[in-house]
Structure 1
Amino acid sequence: MERESYPYLTDALQDVDVRVPYRSVISPSATDAQIVAELYKLITMQTRVFIVHMFPSLGARLFAKAKEIGMMSEGYVWIMTDGLTAEFLSSPNPSVTDTMQGVLDNANSIDAELNIYGLWAYDATKALAMAVEKAGATNFGFEKANVASSSSTDLATLGTSLNGPNLLQALSDTSFKGLTGDYHFVDRQLQPPAFQIVNVNGNGVRGLGFWKPARGVLVKRLDPANSTSMSRISNAIFPGDTFVVPKGWEIPTNEKKLKIGVPLKDGFTEFVAVTTDPISNATKVTGYCIDVFDAVVKALPYALPYEYIPYVNPDGKPAGNYNDLAYQVHLKKFDAVVGDMTIVYNRSLYIDFTLPYTESGVNMIVPIADNNSKNAWVFMKPLTWDLWVSTFVLFVFIGFVVWVLEHRVNEDFRGSASNQAGAGFWFSFSTIVFAQRERVVSNLARAVLIIWCFVVLVVTQSYTASLSSLLTVQQLQPTVTDVHDLIMKGEYVGYLRGSFVLEILLGLGFHKSKLRVYNSPEECHELFSKGSGNGGIAAAFDEVPYTKLFLSKYCSQYTMIDPTFQTAGFGFVFPKGSSLVPDISKAILNVTEGDQMKQIEDAWFGKRGSCPESSSSVSSKILSLNSFWGLFLIAGLAALLALIIFFVMFVYRERRRLSHSDPTAPIWDRTKTFFRVFIQRDSTSLNSRQMELTDRNGISLHTIGVPSPSACSIHAQFPEDPSSTDSQTPQEEAINIDQLTNQNQERPTALEIDHENN
């Protein structure tokens, strides 16, 4: 029945990602025994969705036998083509429809009782007549073909119409409203009408909806205004009288199992481990990669039988390295390879990899140690060098600013040049412990010191906290931080035996004599324990999955160091062009994006948070300038602003004295004059007048509270030898003291003179 349509049907199914694994051909003259034998063959396969395209008489026998052997029960899906449906709908037979309960079909939808083929024939005849009229054909002669065949069914023996091209063009342009709907051609193809999806139920069929080729969707009604989406169509009743949609496949009983090759490993058996039962001699394959592949296969929408076969020699030893194992797939000795197989370019030349299912990259593992307790300069570590220098410069600057603001009005900041410089720097640096004893009398200096003391408080407290942490908490630091240091020092490094990491190390510049191999995490740890100079290694290079496993066992002794050399990760191996690669890759994405992947990792590598002292991320408690530049900026701007205000006021107050200098004098002379005035005591300030009350002969006046003539205490010291003093009487001394005060004011009403004889 239209065998020529089979390839087109298969192509149409493949265009929508439907795989046709098997085509069953049954002769119209086949006996019931032959039909049953073919049906039993289908039972042994995994597919449970069948499309039936045959003569109605053969189809009726097929469904009857399928029901007898249980293939019309729950879990099966049967779809008929429109030829069978048209026959069964035109003359329904209860005995036939009873064996077809739950069958689906795509019957052509027309509003007529006549057989669909009869209506198509009527429309075709009408279209041909209209085309003949349009073409104006009057001669219907045929040109005989020169063919020796005498078969009546051979199309090559038919003649060729003399008006064929004109008639073909006219027919292609013909369109009208026929009995089966709109009749027109597109690219010389008649556009099919809407198909009705029907479901055999009871003694008849039940319409589920309509499929319109133009829209490519399933609707409940043909009326566009009342059509609904596919989710609103009626539910189908599948074989077994159930509304549950069958999954469409079962585990096959006769299908050949895939031979999955697995490597035999001496170390890192958490990824792949091959063990043999000594009693039953059965081989058992376990590991992280095995669990991932099992989970991926379960996520496939169909069954995939497989078995693991270790890649070993007859004596039970490994038959080769990973490249050899991958090449066995190319030689078709294995159907696939599952294991810790890295996706690399040279292997992809003759096999196909799935998407990776692990993290990618090659890292360097180095030991970590606590060197702070042995460092005599550990007190310098809490601050970076730029912060040390910035802090020192700011201390000096603040000391200079305080001296500028105070030296003209404060006796504590006067004296020789060295004394003044020492007083300024002493005052600034003594604020670290707040031990300054000098008083500040200038309001500008007080404002600067308020801000500066806050900055000092923050810096000292932060330094104390950081230093305490360095001295009390174990600070584990990597012993090596750069690959090039290993090369320059000639250190030994390690790599996993048989790994492609060897090529990376040689490419980085390591000499082959400086490379040592290991087979397991325990061997790697032993090499680290010996050290590079005693037959061990200073660093190890390995892929991220191996380094994570190694650190999960020795997390408090080693750490990973950047940079990470990019690789593609682990993948499953299949033959070149295998149709399983895209399906397995999709299933990998499904598994890795869920929680199942994390459960597998925790089962084989342990939880990452279980390490009491994780060294994979070494935290730094060193303080840098970035943490304090805001405070330093505020203090610096405040001090600079105070300097500007001071010099503006200084120039304004001393404008007369500065203006007396010769304007024609050199700049250097005028500068010296300015500096001479600048370093002099400010005689107009209140504090300077109090300082001048200290007499050269040892008489000092100290104000009590607010300085005023009515509230003061005069302490006079008289020498034991009256002859050593000037011949000045006490009355004259009182007159001189009175002259130091404002003459317009009244004399002090209370004076207390203490005489001390030394």
Structure 2
Amino acid sequence: MFPRMPQATSLIRVPIRAKHFTDIDFATLVMERATQTILFLILFAHSGAAQNATETGGDEFPVGVILDLGTLVGKIAQTSIQMALEDFYAVHENYSTKLVLHIRDSNSNNVQAASAALDLMDSHNVQVIIGPQKSSQVSFVSDLGNKTKVPVISFTATSPSLFSGSLPYFVRATLNDSAQVNSIASLIKAYGWRQVVPIYEDTDYGRGIIPHLIDALQEIDARVPYRSVIPLSAASEQITQELYKLMTMQTRVFLVHMSSALASALFTKAKEVGMMNKGFVWVVTNGITNIIDSLNPSVVEAMNGALGIKFYAPKSEELDNFTTRWNRRFQIDNPNDPPLKLSIFGLWGYDTIWAVAQAVEKVGFNNSTSFQKPAVPRTSASLDILETSPYGPELLKTILQNKFRGLSGYFDLSERQLQVSTFQIINVVGKEWREIGFWTAENGISRQLNYGKSVTRYSGPVTDLNSVIWPGKSTEIPRGWEIPVSGNKLQVGVHRSMYTQFMTNEKNPITGAIKASGFSIDVFEEAVKRLPYALPYEYVAFDDTNDTGRAGYNDFVYQVYLQKYDIAIGDITISFNRTSYVDFTLPYTESGVAMVVPLRNSNNRNALVFLQPLSRDLWFKSIILFIYTGVVVWLLEFLGNKTNVRRLTVGKPGIMIFFSLFGDTDGVERFLSRTVLIVWVFCFLLLGSSYTANLTTMMTIQQFNSNVTDIHVLRKSGEYVGYRNGSYVGNLLKTLGFSKSKIKSYNSTDELKIALSMGSKNGGIAAYVHEVPYIKLFLAENSQAYTMVGPFYRTAGFGFALPKGSPLLGDISKAILDIVEGDTIIQIGKKWMGGYQDKHNNERLPSIPDQLTTDRFQVPFMFTAAVSTSSLLIAVITYLYEKKKERMTNMQGNQNGDGVEGNDKTQDGNERGRVQGHDQLEAGRDQNDQQQEETGSAVIYRNEKTLSSRVVHISSSARY
């Protein structure tokens, strides 16, 4: 059963059980108790509301509080939790439970924090422990809480290592340090910095954030080249020595994550050694910025120009009123201390008390209920003597379910820690700080809070932030790196290329200095001239006297990864496997792998050259269209009842088509037939003119070409191909499917020329395969006899290799891009490659014209076929309609025949006479035509006269 505690239990309790202090002698114990007694008397006069809470009756609920009362955070938190207790029961006077606080000072000592927790559990049977303050103290205290089922709630311990399944009774009423790493990475990316050096204290708190920070920086392609770890007890000389070490490095972006006391010493020394001047960048985590208002003004002034990540507490009228009351109360509680300002840790402490008080009231509490005591003698020194709380599990569950709007914002511990909210990005200016923007998980970086806008977490350019006053009162954004004044020159690795035009080097026998020359050297030196700053450098020769092949190039690039070179330059191919351990600049040459093939004179003497202008498909479709058009015209004339067309039988299709298309003007009479012929003639003229032009080119122009046009054709035909010995092209050819026996390597240009002239069938090669830049060197001297085919395989080109995350990468790449886009690269090319590039582009050799294909005549062919088909359909429909109309007329005539039979006989006789006369006239004309062909015009005249007399006779007979 919990005994009723006196009023003083809400303050600091002095441990009375000697078994917890076996390592402390009597004199030390007396001094310690005297100090605590004095502090107890000071605080006793200001414990009004907490004491009144116990006097008003109700079940007292013991709560332990462990803080470092000698620190800024400890002092701020103590005042806040006492005011929280007063405010809560002032609002909830009718509650049946009353919290009673038992405050202990750990004196920033892990052992004493654990001792205080044991005393609170053993002596006061506390049901909840608030604290301790440091992450290193929480670890052991939380183990005690797990054993006794007493919830341990800390609103100051932020180390990510504390939140795990092994501490089920630990609740973090603050943000995990890892919650701010994304905001830090977003800030780094916004300003374009590529390297960051973290400076942190050698504690659980300092080390806990580093793995999460490195992961976040890797996502934005930034790296950590060095970690500066400073012991918590480091002297001024040790801090100064570490700062001088940092000054010798290139990186100028530093991230500070440590306690306020060590950070104050660090920035004071940084200002003394000149590291708070122009060009440096300092970013501090929220562990410092959250209490920046309470730091010594001289420390804040030393931090001028630094950026910080600060937890953002929404402004409200309640917060303003509480801040005013808190300032007065703090002066009363700490009359001998300088004024401090309320921080977010004080607000979290305030909201934590409210969360616990609400949970206790909901669970209910009875003073008569005791801890479950283990069956272990009280004299045992084992931890098994600790009693188990009967309220712990239910109380923990209620605390985690309790959500409300507190002074710090939305207070939600459902995940056993506060969730990520909003961070303020601040800039220290003078003795104060000013806001330059915000960061949220939903919106990324922004100048103002824009709720509802969804972007990626690392988004946000510099323009989305307010202007910053950087160290040294500079308004220019620092590059984030510098060449150290006391450091060595930039070590530039060079080698002897297989092609001396690209790069070669020699050593001065007197000075020992390396002198390099070549195309790559000129590009590098021109890029350095265009940098916005001076970059001192010296060449370092790669010792590769026995191997100048591609394997040597791999070893050469690997020296950059081993940090022997700051940059490696030359004809280095940018490849995927190399990018795993170095970074490359933008390429400064063309990319790709191509073939060199010999040219040949191909004057065309083929007897069937007249068939070559048109493709086989076009020939076939043209003939089909010709026949189809002829058939359509004949059918149109046939359906139009043209007599001479009717006489042409189906067994004579050649005569039929010729007559339809090439007969006299009387042969094509219908309008539809003429329309079809006009469209077809237009298509025929278009095809004929194209055919004539192509045939003329083939027969008159001398062409230079090659039989080789595709690397895959060479592979299928089993031709031999060659490459330069030592090049990776040999492996590429195997990858493309070439047999090893069909690949030949050569060591010199003369060998290649001989092999190409011999040809694949005579022991040589059909093509020389190499990278485009090297091929251009070859063609610069042999462009009249050879040509380039391709490229058929793409590569990234040549570039310079730098260490991963090198700050020089962006600037040198920009300079190379400026060179490549201008006239400079052309001038350098003319110097070392004889200007072949311009010659190759401007003097293109004539080539065989392509055959005409159906694709080029698809539209006129389709139009001609459409017109022909449409005309035929119209003619068929018209013919069928006329036949139907004729049948209807005949049927009406038969129905009227019965009434006028006599008259019809007479009329029929006359009609028969006229028809017979007409038939005889037609027969006479036919006979006349035959006689005209045999005897000439005289016979024709005689027949016509005879025919006329017969017609007169027939007509007379018809009248009678």
Normalised by the length of structure 1, the TM-score is 0.64
Asked if 1:372 is matched to 2:372, the reply is no
Distance 1:474 1:552, change over 3 A: farther
Distance 1:232 1:312, change over 3 A: closer
Q: Is the 2:524–2:569 Cα contact (8 Å) retained in structure 1?
A: no
Distance 1:397 1:247, change over 3 A: closer
**Cross-structure match for 1:736:** 946
Q: Indicate which of 505, 526, 531 corresponds to 1:275.
A: 505
Distance 1:547 1:740, change over 3 A: farther
Equivalent AA in structure 1 for residue 243 of structure 2: L
CA RMSD of aligned residues (A): 6.3
Q: Is the 2:548–2:726 Cα contact (8 Å) retained in structure 1?
A: no
Q: Distance in 1 between matches of 2:944 and 2:360?
A: 149
Q: Indicate which of 232, 236, 249 corresponds to 2:468.
A: 236
Q: Distance in 2 between matches of 1:485 and 1:221?
A: 63
Q: Distance in 1 between matches of 2:712 and 2:491?
A: 45
Distance 1:690 1:216, change over 3 A: same
Asked if 1:41 is matched to 2:245, the reply is yes
How much has 1:443 moved relative to structure 2? 1.9
Q: Distance in 2 between matches of 1:476 and 1:200?
A: 74
Q: Distance in 1 between matches of 2:946 and 2:702?
A: 72
Equivalent AA in structure 1 for residue 613 of structure 2: P
Q: Distance in 1 between matches of 2:776 and 2:732?
A: 19
Q: Secondary structure at the match of 2:547?
A: coil
Distance 1:739 1:697, change over 3 A: farther
Structure 2 residue runs of 5 or longer lacking an equivalent are: 1-107, 109-133, 135-202, 314-318, 328-340, 454-459, 884-919, 956-960
Q: Is the 1:528–1:537 Cα contact (8 Å) retained in structure 2?
A: yes
**Cross-structure match for 1:722:** none
How much has 1:470 moved relative to structure 2? 2.3
**Cross-structure match for 2:908:** none
Asked if 1:470 is matched to 2:680, the reply is no
How much has 1:7 moved relative to structure 2? 1.9
Question: Relative to structure 2, which stretch is displaced further, 590-599 or 467-476?
Answer: 590-599
Q: Is the 1:261–1:334 Cα contact (8 Å) retained in structure 2?
A: no
Q: Is the 2:592–2:797 Cα contact (8 Å) retained in structure 1?
A: no
Q: Is the 1:326–1:573 Cα contact (8 Å) retained in structure 2?
A: no
Q: Secondary structure at the match of 1:242?
A: coil
- 1:405-463 CA deviation, whole Å, 9 max, x = no partner? 79x9789x999x99x9998898899x7xxxx9x67544258677655544443333222
**Cross-structure match for 2:725:** 497
> How do 1:78-117 and structure 2 match up within 5 A?
78-81=282-285, 84=288, 89-90=293-294, 93=297, 95-107=298-310, 109=313, 111=320, 112=323, 113=327, 114-116=341-343, 117=345
**Cross-structure match for 1:677:** none
Q: Indicate which of 209, 222, 226 corresponds to 1:9.
A: 209
Q: Distance in 2 between matches of 1:612 and 1:249?
A: 45
**Cross-structure match for 2:228:** 24
- 1:633-686 CA deviation, whole Å, 9 max, x = no partner? 77678889789979x89xx9xxxxxxxxxxxxxxxxxxxxxxxxxxxxx99599
Q: Is the 1:142–1:162 Cα contact (8 Å) retained in structure 2?
A: yes
Q: Distance in 1 between matches of 2:811 and 2:433?
A: 42
How much has 1:48 moved relative to structure 2? 2.2
Q: Distance in 2 between matches of 1:697 and 1:223?
A: 110
> How do 1:332-371 and structure 2 match up within 5 A?
363-371=594-602
How much has 1:466 moved relative to structure 2? 1.6
Q: Indicate which of 377, 380, 385 corresponds to 2:616.
A: 385
Q: Is the 1:264–1:318 Cα contact (8 Å) retained in structure 2?
A: no
Q: Secondary structure at the match of 1:45?
A: coil
Equivalent AA in structure 2 for residue 43 of structure 1: M
Distance 1:55 1:738, change over 3 A: closer
Q: Secondary structure at the match of 1:611?
A: helix
Q: Secondary structure at the match of 1:187?
A: coil
How much has 1:322 moved relative to structure 2? 1.9
- 1:690-740 CA deviation, whole Å, 9 max, x = no partner? 8468385433599xxxxxxxxxxx7xxxxxxxxxxxxxxxxx889437549
Asked if 1:457 is matched to 2:685, the reply is yes
Q: Is the 1:353–1:572 Cα contact (8 Å) retained in structure 2?
A: no
Q: Is the 2:549–2:725 Cα contact (8 Å) retained in structure 1?
A: no
Asked if 1:248 is matched to 2:458, the reply is no
**Cross-structure match for 2:767:** 539
**Cross-structure match for 2:851:** 622
Q: Is the 2:523–2:816 Cα contact (8 Å) retained in structure 1?
A: no
Distance 1:38 1:683, change over 3 A: farther
- Residue identity over aligned pairs, in percent, reads 33
Q: Secondary structure at the match of 1:186?
A: coil
Equivalent AA in structure 2 for residue 42 of structure 1: L
Q: Distance in 2 between matches of 1:598 and 1:366?
A: 30
Question: Relative to structure 2, which stretch is displaced further, 332-341 or 45-54?
Answer: 332-341
Q: Indicate which of 141, 162, 176 corresponds to 2:388.
A: 162
Distance 1:310 1:700, change over 3 A: farther
Q: Distance in 1 between matches of 2:873 and 2:357?
A: 110
Aligned residue-pair number: 657
Q: Is the 1:52–1:79 Cα contact (8 Å) retained in structure 2?
A: yes
Distance 1:62 1:387, change over 3 A: closer
Answer 1 or 2: which has greater helix percent.
Answer: 2
- 1:92-122 CA deviation, whole Å, 9 max, x = no partner? 54x5544333334445546424543555545
How much has 1:371 moved relative to structure 2? 1.8
- 1:530-564 CA deviation, whole Å, 9 max, x = no partner? 54566643222334565566567766755555894
Q: Distance in 1 between matches of 2:257 and 2:548?
A: 51
How much has 1:90 moved relative to structure 2? 3.6
Q: Distance in 1 between matches of 2:743 and 2:306?
A: 69
Q: Distance in 2 between matches of 1:391 and 1:105?
A: 79
How much has 1:52 moved relative to structure 2? 3.8
Distance 1:126 1:693, change over 3 A: same
Q: Is the 1:82–1:105 Cα contact (8 Å) retained in structure 2?
A: yes
Structure 1 residue runs of 5 or longer lacking an equivalent are: 151-155, 653-681, 703-713, 715-731, 746-758
Higher relative contact order (CA 8 A, sep 6+): 1
**Cross-structure match for 1:172:** 400
How much has 1:4 moved relative to structure 2? 1.8
Q: Distance in 1 between matches of 2:654 and 2:397?
A: 112
Q: Distance in 1 between matches of 2:291 and 2:654?
A: 117
> How do 1:69-218 and structure 2 match up within 5 A?
69-81=273-285, 84=288, 89-90=293-294, 93=297, 95-107=298-310, 109=313, 111=320, 112=323, 113=327, 114-116=341-343, 117=345, 120-132=348-360, 134=363, 136=365, 138=367, 139=370, 160=386, 162-163=388-389, 165=393, 167-175=395-403, 178-190=406-418, 196-208=424-436
Distance 1:376 1:44, change over 3 A: same
How much has 1:379 moved relative to structure 2? 3.0
**Cross-structure match for 2:66:** none
Q: Secondary structure at the match of 1:469?
A: helix
Distance 1:302 1:125, change over 3 A: farther
How much has 1:71 moved relative to structure 2? 2.4
How much has 1:244 moved relative to structure 2? 3.0
Q: Is the 1:82–1:107 Cα contact (8 Å) retained in structure 2?
A: yes
Q: Is the 1:135–1:167 Cα contact (8 Å) retained in structure 2?
A: no
Equivalent AA in structure 2 for residue 162 of structure 1: T
